[in-house]
Amino acid sequence: MCGIAGIARLGGRTLGAETDAVLDRLADILDHRGPDERETLRDDAVGLVFTRLALVDPEDGSQPLVSDDGSLVLVANGEVYNHRELAASLPGGAPLKTGSDCEVLLYLYREHGLDFLRDVRGMFALILWDRARNQLVLARDRFGIKPLYYHRDDARIVLSSEIKGLFADPATPRRFDWEGALATPLLASAGTFNEAPVSTWFEGVELVPAATVERIDLADGRTTRHRYWELPEDSDEGAGAPEFVRRYGELLEESVQECVTADTELGLFLSGGIDSSAVLALAGDKRAGMHTFTALTGGTFDNGDAENAAWIARELGVPNHQVVFPPDHVPTPQEWLRLLWLTETPMCGPEVYYKHELHRFARAARPGLRGMLLGAASDEFNGGYARDMGARDWPSFLGILSLVDRDTRLARRPALRHWWAQEPYFVSPKGIDGLDQDGDRLYRAYLRSEYWQIQQYNVWHEDRTAAGSGVEARVPFLDHRLVELCARIPERLRPELLWNKRILREAVGSRLPERIAERPKVPFFYGEGTYHSYRMLVRLMRADSGALVERALAAPGAADFIDGDRVRAHLAEIGEGRTDAPSVEMLMRVLNMGLLAQLAVDAPRLEDTSPGAVLQEVTGGGPVSEAVADLPELPGDAVPVFAENVLLLTDPAGADWYLIKDGEIEFVLQAGSPTLEVLRAVDGRTPLAGLLAPVGAEGEQEARADVGNLLDLGFLAWAG
């Protein structure tokens, strides 16, 4: 990972010496992305900046890179995994002068023009100056893993890996885009497919789209855009399920092996689920000496992630650092402002905070670590989110997608929305725009939406949270060959391969213990234990007499878009107990918008802000620790009973048990869990202490926490 930036004059003008100060400011702003080295270049109409984090060839990988004839100059951020085979494929080979994996891009461009990235595998953003043609060439990888933003006017264009870098140039506007942000469905958690271009959140700030090459003629400013990759829309009808599973396993292993190639230490975020565990297993002998890092929060304690991460790390023989987020831990308002300015997105929330702190701990514990492997971006393309959306099976998943599709189409025809305002519906969805509820069309619309969301949220925050600690995030599941394979699974095989991530489970089942390979998916943040994170946000918003709230409400434009009285009233109503109300996170996003609007005006340097003390790992007690258990104070002599509208039922096989409230299944309890054992023993006579005794010390912590939650949610009550 590195930082790249630049300034170019348009209209045949050259850069003067006064530009050097702007280039130096750009380098300062991007220093956290590349603390190992910095270089600046100013020549004719172009100035370039490069700050380096050295993972490959630390001794001989400086940039800018220049072609052998001096006509091409390149700064690039990221990794080209297949650079050796690409160099060998060029006629006569490539006259490489360094060990940089990015140098081959110069000669691919000279050979193939705008199609030069067609066969490149990796993650990258680049600025290439074609001196002979007086053109700038800008490009990003297929998924936008590495960022590149710019602002341009008639006189010049300024570019940067991060938006804050653009503000080094006084001509860049510093205004938050309130209307654009509020119109972004993802920010409002709207139940529609994401179709709009990726938002940059700031007025006048553009980004180079993923899978795209932009060419800017510096003589007249004319711009051409070439898209070199698209998410496949066709199916591979010739292969059966076993063939898809075999190819998926081979491609994933090859991708992992490419991602673990480095000349410096790499780590891995280990969640205890199949995704990150598969990356660890497929690393093979490269995992020797690799350290893994797990967030030990109230949520990961409750949902079993922390326990399973520690277990699989022991099974595969690698150290696992469980980083403790104590129950009373809350970032200060100043620390939150720093994180928000680092990430540059109102989507900043608990998940982003946890990962940022994991990176900080990893870098402090392992100073030589420069890269972090992630299990991210698996679910989006291999069927990982169907159950999270409430589906029971593949047909019900398609039924949910049809509702999302209908609302997406209605957003384009708002005059028809009133016909679907309430049930029963008498108008066919086809009447909206003539489209049938075709299963294949629905699923492909879903894939395109997930592809968009990865760019707007996932890779955005993964890049920034890692960059804040001088670490490069590597994402093996975003090998485009893997994504293409899953996208081409024909409709007839999707229920078999894409329900509950079967293609991944089958592909790595022989490489992982069954406990992990068949473990149900649990979200890193959403789901069981979410109330821990929401309580943290509530305490953050209330800290220092609501300092963040008042700062956000006083920001430029906030009075026109935020109802301050409602914000204050809602925050006053929210309790600090076991609230799972999504409104907490939505309120934080609203405040984030105001805070970003204010930060853009002041544009602080990250180096002038403090991230706070680095968290510590659990020692001695293992992942089941009172440090995060947050056990409620419950009277042992009181007798719990089920509420009148609650039933505990099981299926005929007794494999799963269900807590049903008002006729609706609210919780599924697995056989053998301590909480289920306690609930099955509830008889209206036995006090809580007697119910907890049979499950043992470790089981008691889990069961006590769940009983407290069920009491708060009204599933249980005290007798009398």
**Does residue 353 register a pLDDT over 90?**
yes
The closest of 74, 78, 75 to 53, measured between CA atoms, is 78
Which CATH number does the domain housing residue 103 bear?
Answer: 3.60.20.10
- Residue 270 counted as domain residue: yes
What's the pLDDT band for 186 if we cut at 50, 70, 90? very high
* Residue 138 main-chain phi, psi, to 5 deg: -120, 140
Residues 495 and 556 in one domain: no
Strand partners for 215 = 137, 224
Q: Whose structure tokens read 């790249």? A: 4
Domain containing 712: what range? 631-718
For residue 596, what are its two tokens? 């970003």
pLDDT in tens, 8-28: 999 988 999 999 999 999 999
Active site residues: 2
Least confident of 418-422, 457-461, 534-538: 418-422
pLDDT in tens, 300-340: 888 889 999 999 999 999 999 999 999 889 999 999 999 99
The size of the chain, in residues, is 720
Residues 700 and 676 in one domain: yes
pLDDT for 306 equals 93
pLDDT in tens, 136-149: 999 999 999 999 99
Mean pLDDT in residue range 279-294:
96
Helix/strand number for the chain, H first, E second:
28, 22
Q: What is the mean pLDDT of the chain?
A: 91
Residues 246 and 206 in one domain: no
| Between 431 and 655, residue with greater pLDDT | 431
- Residue 80 counted as domain residue: yes
* 353 touches 339 (CB < 8 A): yes
Q: Any idea of the CA torsion for 173, 176, 178, 180, to the nearest 10 degrees?
A: 70
What's the whole-model pTM score? 0.88
Residues 167 and 267 in one domain: no
pLDDT for 588 equals 97
3-state class of 293 per DSSP? strand
d(CA 516, CA 88): 40
pLDDT in tens, 706-720: 788 788 767 899 997
390: left (phi over 0), alpha (psi -120 to 50) or beta: left
What's the pLDDT band for 521 if we cut at 50, 70, 90? confident
pLDDT in tens, 608-655: 899 999 999 988 644 445 566 555 678 888 999 999 889 998 877 666
| Between 81 and 527, residue with greater pLDDT | 81
Mean pLDDT in residue range 544-556:
97
Q: What DSSP letter does each residue of 129-179 carry, written as one string?
A: EETTTTEEEEEE-TT--S--EEEE-SSEEEEESSHHHHTTSTTS---B-HH
- Residue 336 counted as domain residue: yes
d(CA 615, CA 18): 43
Question: Of all residues in the chain, what percent are helix, strand and coil, respectively (each to 5)?
Answer: 45, 15, 40
- Residue 438 counted as domain residue: no
What's the pLDDT band for 531 if we cut at 50, 70, 90? confident
- Residue 564 counted as domain residue: yes
Residues 223 and 249 in one domain: no
Residues 512 and 535 in one domain: no
Residues 602 and 644 in one domain: no
Which CATH number does the domain housing residue 362 bear?
Answer: 3.40.50.620
Q: Is the peptide bond before 367 cis (omega within 30 degrees of 0)?
A: no
**Does residue 459 register a pLDDT over 70?**
yes
Residues 560 and 664 in one domain: no
Residues 248 and 353 in one domain: yes
Q: Is the peptide bond before 424 cis (omega within 30 degrees of 0)?
A: yes
What's the pLDDT band for 425 if we cut at 50, 70, 90? confident
pLDDT for 525 equals 47
The closest of 46, 335, 378, 375 to 216, measured between CA atoms, is 46
Residues 540 and 465 in one domain: no
pLDDT in tens, 497-516: 999 999 999 999 999 999 99
Mean pLDDT in residue range 415-421:
89
- Residue 653 counted as domain residue: yes
